[in-house]
Amino acid sequence: MLRRPAALALAWACAITATVLLATVPSAAAGGTLGAPGASAAKHGTARLGADAADIGPEAAAARLVAGMTTAEQAASVVMGHIPSTDPSTLRDYMAQGWGGFILMGANIPPAGIDVRAVTDALVIDASFPPLIAIDEEGGVVARLAADTYASPKALASQPPSATVAAFAARASLVAQNGITVNFGTVADVTADPGSFIAGRALGTDPQGAADRVAAATRAQEPFVASTLKHFPGHGAAPGDSHHAIPTTSETIDQWRTADAVPFVAGIREHASLLMFGHLAYTAVDAAPASLSARWHEIARDELGFEGVMVTDDLGMLQSSGIPAYADPVANAVAAIAAGNDLVLMIAGSTPDTVGSIAAGITAAVEQGTLQADRLAEAATRVAALRLRSSAGLAHWSLCPSCEPAD
């Protein structure tokens, strides 16, 4: 699932939309040494790492890199953390511990007039093996970047898919321009209920209409950033807000296949890089939340054919549900990796030490035999491959001065 080379991406984007005119300049080389996972990577050699990715492909290079990591380094590499800071030194010290990724929230976006690149550049310890830098840039009610004035999902839900292509090509170029490599931005949930908490963020009110726009959004973003489909297997059927509870539904697997699955299938066919699992339960399939369900991960891999990185929604949301079984973020993370996730995301309720505790807990689970070593290595390899693709494929994209907001 290699993304298109930057030059081809430029030509492709210009062909699909007249809304955005994009230009690329060579990526600036960034110095620095590898962080915690870099102890092994340093032995491998950063120059060699880049050569491997070019010669044998990012997947094979990632497998070689992960094979040389310790269990603790692998565990650190499958955690995406967050701290609420814009201070470059603070951010650099945090990422030097070797976390596989960082998610930008509102507290990481500098005031107007200060370049977001000062933040994202500080997160990259080694440019040959950059972390995954993510953001929730859906547009509309969920947007972190003030310059994102392009059409919201709510507006796009009543427009043809071509409008989604235009808006998400612009959105993706804006995200990439700011040094961000992953967009948790494509809501593949579908609901006809205007009272649903996800309704204003969904790209359609019926499965096929949503699927057409999800496919368009994925197709538009992938040349520039790693796009993400969320929140699998779909919030539409399960009433309630997963930020505060575990929404549930009795919808059967056959009902799911003809309804809530349809937009996810469309996005997977367009080679979305990541699939985010929601904290919601389809009790007829598995009583556990999908984020902790091996069955739902099997369905995504074996039935839908998803080959990319599986990531949890914020594990802090499980704690916020108030359910005692999900009170321990370390136990949640271990269960999530065991279920089939490749990357665990931790935001709500976390401190600068939380992801370290999670990584230590994953390490201990492998050493104690409660988490299979090959499952962790598989997860670390998928994440590493996406990091290498980001390193090799990204250019600095610029929006043209004449681009107009689509809303």
CA 296 to chain centre: 18
Q: Catalytic site residue 279?
A: no
373-393 vs 46-56: helix crossing angle, rounded to 10: 90
Cα angle 55, 56, 61 (rounded to 5 degrees) comes to 110
Q: How far apart are alpha carbons 184 and 101 in whole angstroms? A: 13
Q: Which of 243, 271, 328, 396 is catalytic?
A: 243
Backbone torsions φ then ψ of 349, nearest 5 degrees: 75, 0
> Which of 185, 183, 187, 216 lies closest to 199, judged by CA?
187
**Residues found in the chain:** 407
Taking CA atoms, 25 is separated from 151, 177, 192, 394, 396, in Å, by: 27, 11, 43, 10, 6
Q: Which helix (H) or strand (E) holds 362?
A: helix 354-368
Q: Which of 285, 278, 292 is nearest to 257 (CA)?
A: 285
Identify whether the C-beta of residue 183 lies closer than 8 Å to the C-beta of residue 145: no
Token code pair at residue 290? 């999908």
Is residue 235 annotated as a catalytic residue, yes or no? Answer: no
The DSSP symbol for 102 reads E
Structure token digits, residue 126: 């080694």
Of 126, 148, 212, 313, the active-site residue reads 313
Other CB atoms within 10 A of residue 19 CB: 22
Which residues are the active-site residues? 243, 313
